[in-house]
């Protein structure tokens, strides 16, 4: 390369990356009525997007879409159970590389609002808490209990090492950081909130801190001296009054969670809200100079076993589905919806003078995949690990198991009928007698008992239990053990001497496939398919029963014929030209052996 060409290339690169790549310390502060960025009024127009719900390979494309809709900021939670899945073992790699997520936002000209809480709710397993906290004797989350504060401090300091240097006052693009998360819906201990503030500062978060709470719990969850942000309301007068009443008569005003739609759970209709119902509200908020973060701008997918569940005394147990489409402006695959276009039009009216929006990137292509034959199989009973033996059933937590399944096995005398009762089943059980399914129990329907008839002789009783997701919101956050959490009774008598087989399905690459004939038992199936091109697709699981799917090692999430979700989103970024592999763990319909990919999702079909 000649010297002139090298200079020209340098100029092009400087022009392209320019200010975005330079580390410049900014100031971000509060005035009585607005946020002040480098001494000038700044209105936050933000959208929530969570890094683990989007393939890392697609982060940048989603952010370009955010810019095209008119957003200047991205909001994200930080998920403790992703980053410390086992005590003392931290992971900020791959799709967990939240620092890289923030840096890409900066390169795309976006600021970031960081929400490391450490409780996040978010329709996420245990509200973001790692399961192992429940094994620390006496530990109480969201409290001043010493064990909790010790683990919390260790975690938040690790997060600080990753992200504190990326705050705006250190040359980064993190504008402000939220402590706790809707704490007013849970408690009102201001001393506990002050401890949160101290721990954040000690972790290096020395910029602007704030709290957020829904209107009905607003006064309980804010901390004097910190900006109180509000969730769930969008009437400008009400927002301004509530903030002023709790912030020394001053602003600025920030709606931290504005809901243009909602999430879904198994067995109910897909939630949708017409964009027209919200466009005028967005326009009104922006016209009033109020900053806003829409939850969600882009939901993506809750892959693996990371969905949460809701439960309280009024409503049944409600585990959330894998799709986190949320009827958001950007759909599950990252494509603009009519809601996106209407919100873009509303935002464009409030841009600073002389500023225009970039064009909307083209939608991602999608494709059909002809029927894939899953011609390799492994019956679950043939691939069991070494069991743990105990007189009474052990929980997932007792087994140091986070997610997935546990098979409980024992032998009992047969030749009689009776009621089998699983005390405090969490959450879904397949009951088998001598390898044959005799029924299922589903916590959603408050089922814990089934009448069974045993053949003569010694009988093998197998109970396969699935963790459908730990509760992420509400009063039962502290009661989140999984499995058979108390005892098993048959015909009124307690059943003892159990073997527990841990089946976390954290990987599926080591499974041996030997089964030739069809059996009516939980089964793992595998197939190979070849592609000449790659694009997004949606795996049609509507004729299957219940289970989990992996493609090229990526856990795509759960499927369940009860709906409303009948497809699993398969990102084109995770497919390859040539050979691809697919693995399915099917619980109920072992005879199925083909899967097809279709071009559009099915998110609103109940059984």
Catalytic residues: 182, 257
In whole angstroms, what is the distance from residue 472 CA to residue 300 CA?
18
CA 599 to chain centre: 24
Residue 8's CB: how many other CB atoms inside 10 A?
A: 12
Residue 316's CB: how many other CB atoms inside 10 A?
A: 14
β pairing state of 428-433 and 493-494: unpaired
β pairing state of 498-503 and 388-390: antiparallel
Q: Where are the beta strands (DSSP E) in 302-387?
A: 309-310, 318-319, 369-373, 376-379
User: Which residue bears the tokens 């009783």?
Assistant: 461
User: DSSP characters for 388-435?
Assistant: EEESS---TTTTT--SSEEEEEEEEE-S-EEEEEETTEESEEEEEETT
In whole angstroms, what is the distance from residue 332 CA to residue 328 CA?
8
Residue 506's CB: how many other CB atoms inside 10 A?
A: 13
| Contact by Cβ (8 Å): 22, 153 | no
Q: Which two tokens stand for residue 71?
A: 């957003």
Nearest Cα neighbor of 473 from 364, 284, 318, 359 is 318
| Contact by Cβ (8 Å): 453, 576 | no
Residue 305, burial from CB neighbour count under 10 angstroms (0-12, 13-18, 19+): buried
Phi, psi of 216 (to 5 degrees): -70, -20
| Contact by Cβ (8 Å): 45, 71 | yes
56: left (phi over 0), alpha (psi -120 to 50) or beta: alpha
User: DSSP characters for 178-245?
Assistant: EESSSGGGT---HHHHHHHHHHHHHTT--SEEEEEEEGGGHHHH--TTSEEEEES---HHHHHHHHHH
In whole angstroms, what is the distance from residue 213 CA to residue 231 CA?
6
Radius of gyration of the chain (CA): 26
| Contact by Cβ (8 Å): 544, 493 | no
Q: What angle do CA 259, 247, 182 make, to 5 degrees?
A: 40
Q: Which two tokens stand for residue 332?
A: 């599950």
Strand order in the sheet with 594-598: 369-373, 594-598, 537-540, 567-570
Residue 573, burial from CB neighbour count under 10 angstroms (0-12, 13-18, 19+): middle
In whole angstroms, what is the distance from residue 220 CA to residue 172 CA?
32
Q: How far is CA 34 from CA 43, 167, 200, 253, 290, in A?
A: 7, 19, 24, 7, 8
């Amino acid at each position: 390369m000649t010297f002139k060409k090298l200079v020209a290339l340098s100029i092009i690169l400087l022009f392209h990356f320019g200010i975005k790549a330079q580390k410049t310390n900014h100031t971000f502060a509060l005035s009585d009525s607005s946020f002040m960025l480098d001494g000038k009024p700044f209105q936050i127009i933000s959208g929530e997007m969570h890094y683990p719900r989007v393939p890392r390979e697609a982060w940048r494309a989603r952010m370009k879409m955010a810019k095209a809709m008119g957003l200047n900021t991205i909001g994200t939670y930080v998920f403790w159970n992703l980053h410390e899945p086992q005590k003392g073992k931290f992971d900020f790699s791959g799709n967990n590389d939240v620092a890289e997520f923030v840096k890409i936002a900066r390169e795309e000209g976006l600021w970031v609002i960081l929400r490391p809480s450490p409780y996040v709710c978010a329709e996420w397993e245990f509200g973001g808490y790692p399961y192992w906290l429940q094994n620390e004797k006496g530990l109480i989350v969201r409290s001043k209990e010493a064990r909790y504060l010790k683990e919390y401090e260790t975690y938040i300091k690790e997060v600080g090492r990753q992200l504190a240097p990326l705050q705006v006052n250190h040359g980064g693009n993190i504008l402000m950081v939220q402590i706790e998360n809707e704490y007013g819906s849970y408690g009102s201990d201001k001393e506990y909130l002050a401890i949160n503030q101290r721990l954040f500062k000690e972790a290096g978060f020395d910029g602007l801190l704030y709290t957020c709470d829904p209107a009905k719990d607003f006064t309980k969850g804010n901390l004097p001296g910190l900006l109180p942000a509000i969730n769930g309301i969008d009437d400008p007068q009400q927002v301004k009054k509530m903030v002023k009443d709790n912030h020394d008569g001053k602003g600025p005003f920030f709606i931290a969670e504005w809901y243009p739609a909602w999430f879904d759970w198994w067995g109910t209709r897909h939630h949708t809200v017409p964009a027209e119902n919200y466009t005028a509200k967005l326009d009104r908020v922006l016209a009033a100079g109020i900053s806003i973060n829409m939850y969600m701008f882009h939901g993506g997918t809750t892959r693996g076993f990371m969905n949460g569940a809701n439960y309280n005394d009024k409503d049944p147990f409600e585990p959330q589905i894998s799709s986190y489409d949320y009827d958001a402006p950007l759909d599950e695959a990252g494509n603009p919806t009519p809601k996106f276009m209407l919100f873009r039009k509303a935002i464009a009216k409030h841009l600073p003078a002389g500023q225009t929006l970039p064009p909307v990137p083209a939608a991602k292509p999608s494709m059909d995949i002809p029927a894939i034959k899953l011609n390799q199989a492994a019956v679950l009973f043939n691939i069991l690990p070494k069991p743990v033996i105990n007189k009474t059933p052990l929980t997932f937590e007792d087994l140091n198991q986070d997610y997935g399944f546990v098979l409980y096995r024992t032998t009992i005398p047969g030749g009689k009928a009776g009621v089998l009762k699983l005390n405090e089943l969490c959450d879904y059980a397949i009951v088998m007698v001598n390898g044959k399914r005799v029924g299922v129990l589903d916590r959603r329907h408050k089922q814990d008992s089934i009448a069974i008839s045993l053949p003569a002789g010694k009988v093998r009783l197998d109970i396969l239990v699935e963790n459908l997701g730990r509760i992420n919101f509400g009063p039962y956050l502290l009661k989140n053990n999984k499995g058979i959490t108390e005892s098993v009774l048959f015909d009124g008598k307690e059943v003892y001497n159990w073997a527990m087989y841990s089946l976390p399905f954290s990987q599926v690459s080591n499974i041996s496939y030997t089964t030739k004939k069809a059996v009516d038992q939980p089964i793992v199936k595998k197939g190979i398919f070849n592609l000449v091109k790659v694009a997004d697709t949606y795996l049609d699981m509507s004729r299957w029963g219940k289970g989990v799917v992996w493609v090229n090692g990526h856990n795509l999430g759960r499927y369940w014929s009860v709906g409303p979700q009948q497809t699993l989103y398969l990102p084109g970024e995770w497919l390859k030209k040539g050979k691809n592999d697919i693995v399915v763990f099917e619980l109920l319909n072992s005879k199925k052996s083909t899967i097809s990919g279709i071009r559009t999702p099915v998110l609103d079909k109940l059984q």
